[in-house]
Structure 1
Amino acid sequence: MAKPQASAEACPCGRAAWADCCGRYIGTGVPAPDAESLMRSRYSAFVRGHAEHLRATWHPDHCPADLTPDPAVRWLGLEVRGHRVTGPDAAEVEFVARSRIQGRGQRLHERSRFVRQDGRWLYVDGDILN
């Protein structure tokens, strides 16, 4: 389990301090107010190894059985390129997440789909973009 972070520490998603950003949602039960905030918290959960947050925010019809973090992946940064509401309870977020795996740089460019159910945003799936 990941240890708690100092409140002045920068959030992995790059938007603000941990306590004022993704730290408000990870492990607290507080739902993210929109799809972009949820996507940022999911990126931070990948960085910090919070598999329970990933499972809780993944639509149950699409969640993989194994969410064990890959210790070979080192997450390096996140760039949100767009957030678009696509319906009353649906949205998309386009992002680029950079990582390094065994010394080799990787780039994940995805347009993710989210739905809101019972007042909580959930990640459904996404399309990998070039």
Structure 2
Amino acid sequence: MLHQALEGLKGKVAIRSTYDNYIGGQWVAPVQGRYFDNPSPVTGQTVCQVARGTKEDIDLALDAAHKAKDAWGRTSYAERAVILNKIADRIEANLPLIAMVETIDNGKPIRETMNADVPLAADHIRYFAGCIRAEEGTIGEIDHDT
């Protein structure tokens, strides 16, 4: 079953041999150049190597986040919700693929990643898109002091 699923992934997704940190919209090598093996609990074999982040990498990510916050802060609530819903759409459109990669990565049964983990991730994103739309900025008073 697993081997058939892995064969089905070929041509649909290329699991790279190495992953850097994703910072500011681009892949960035770790400052100290260190990586760790990411073995699959399914096979025990290394799936890929992943950047081992350090304080310097966190600082780069924080700098990128601070740089992006003003533009995101000027984005309307409606547009933020649209963006989040598009992310959820992409997750749902690629459900079998994401679920299989998640199973390979964490060893959970495919039925759980396919029917719970990945769909719930999309659902959570849709929930927050709805929260954004519902935010209207007023405060409800309980009494004159609260």
Tell me the TM-score normalised to structure 2 length.
0.21
Structure with more strand by fraction: 1
Tell me the TM-score normalised to structure 1 length.
0.23
